[in-house]
């Protein structure tokens, strides 16, 4: 069995943005939780994914409810800590988003309707259908190696440099179709 500390170190080697997932509680009050397990899933349909620890309070409020993914800006470390269980005073500022409460001052806000929920072991995988997005252009807060960080200087001028599906190169556009792969077949035991 893989040692939990080794697995945690391996996962922490991946730099990610920091988000706060927000929703309304049953009484209508806003609620949020800091997470770094967020990813884009699809542009057609527009889907994104958040992965939450099963024991997180937000899981109970999020079940089947609209939510927002607030991509924190580099200057929102206090906000990240507040929603990670280290309350700050004054509290972060709320606003009403298109489908759920949102935080102000974020690099981006992605508003979602519930799409699907999946078992993720000790986590819950929540897929949301994106119905609105706001992008401010602010630099994001980053999490790497168990610490919050800011982005460093840009390393290249090329977007997706080295990628065969670069938007600048025009390899794949919305009209491209792909040949379906054959189903995976188990190898026979020797």
Return the CATH fold of 4-150.
Pnp Oxidase; Chain A (2.30.110)
Distance CA 32, CA 29 (A): 10
3-state secondary structure of 19: strand
What pLDDT tens digit does each residue of the chain (190 aa) get? 888 888 888 887 778 899 999 999 999 999 999 998 999 999 899 999 999 888 888 878 888 899 999 999 999 999 999 999 898 899 999 999 999 999 999 999 999 999 999 988 888 999 999 999 999 999 999 998 888 888 877 666 665 555 555 555 555 556 666 666 666 555 555 4
Q: How far apart are CA 87 and CA 78, in angstroms?
A: 9
pLDDT, position 156:
66
So what's the pLDDT on residue 190?
47
> Structural domain boundaries of the chain?
4-150
pLDDT the model gives residue 172? 57
Spatial contact of 105 and 29, defined as CB atoms under 8 Å apart: no
Q: Which residues lie below 8 Å from residue 55, measured CB to CB, with a gap of 6+?
A: none
CB 23 within 8 A of CB 67: yes
> Measured in whole angstroms, how far is the alpha carbon of residue 151 from the centre of its chain?
17
């Amino acid at each position: 069995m893989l040692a939990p500390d080794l697995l945690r170190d391996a996962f922490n080697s991946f730099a990610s943005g920091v988000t706060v997932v927000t929703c309304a509680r049953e009484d209508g009050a806003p609620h949020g939780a800091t997470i770094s397990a967020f990813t884009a899933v699809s542009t057609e349909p527009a889907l994104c994914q958040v992965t939450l620890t099963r024991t997180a309070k937000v899981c109970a409020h999020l079940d089947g409810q609209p939510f927002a993914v607030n991509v924190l800006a580099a200057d929102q470390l206090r906000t990240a800590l507040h929603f990670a269980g280290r309350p700050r005073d004054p509290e972060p500022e709320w606003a009403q988003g298109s489908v759920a409460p949102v935080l102000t001052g974020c690099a981006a806000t992605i508003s979602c309707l519930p799409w699907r929920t999946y078992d993720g072991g000790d986590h819950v995988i929540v897929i949301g259908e994106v119905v609105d997005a706001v992008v401010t252009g602010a630099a994001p807060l980053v999490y790497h190696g168990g610490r919050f960080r800011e982005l460093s200087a840009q390393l290249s001028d090329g977007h997706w440099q080295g990628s065969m599906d670069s938007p600048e190169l025009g390899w794949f556009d919305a009209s491209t179709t792909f040949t379906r792969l054959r189903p995976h077949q188990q190898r026979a035991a020797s």
